[in-house]
Amino acid sequence: MSSAVNIDLATDIQANLVMILEENQKLAGKIDFYQVANMIPFIQNAERIFIVGAGRTGLALKAAAMRLMHLGFTVFVVGETTTSAIKKNDLLIAGSGSGTTSSIVKAAEKAVSADAQVITISTTMESPLAKLSSHVAILPAAQKEDHGGSISKQYAGSLFEQSVLLLTDALIQTLWKLDGTPAEELWKRHANLE
């Protein structure tokens, strides 16, 4: 590969990273952070927390599950072999841009039937998942099948998935501030079999 091609590719990658960061910054300006803050009592009052999401949203929520565990919460990821049954006083945190992903809606239905609460991160209040939820925090990002590029130039819901990761990290920073446990103590919960 010639160095001219490498320069063009490097310039394109840099421009794409700037575009991605700008889209996330623009999205952050549209979030109702009162909706997000209202997630905190659900998390604090839950006996146990269950996390569910599909695809890249699910990966972002797994990262949140790890940080919640570091803060001392009992956390399970739906679909893992060691995940317990959900019950009353538990919380299901669901993430779905469309709110229609069948496996996530089914998990929410089962949580509600077990008298657990459901809170959701989504792009819409008008979905089967939102209707099952005690609370919904909206991320005004493009859904997977929004190919028009009016909300995001990125492919297939990437902006939503990125913003789920960033938003849950911000939420966890606030939970950590409220908890006040020193980082050295949290570190004791960090995986040590790696």
- For the annotated catalytic residues, the residue numbers are 161
Beta-bridge partners for 93: 51, 119
Distance CA 187, CA 190 (A): 5
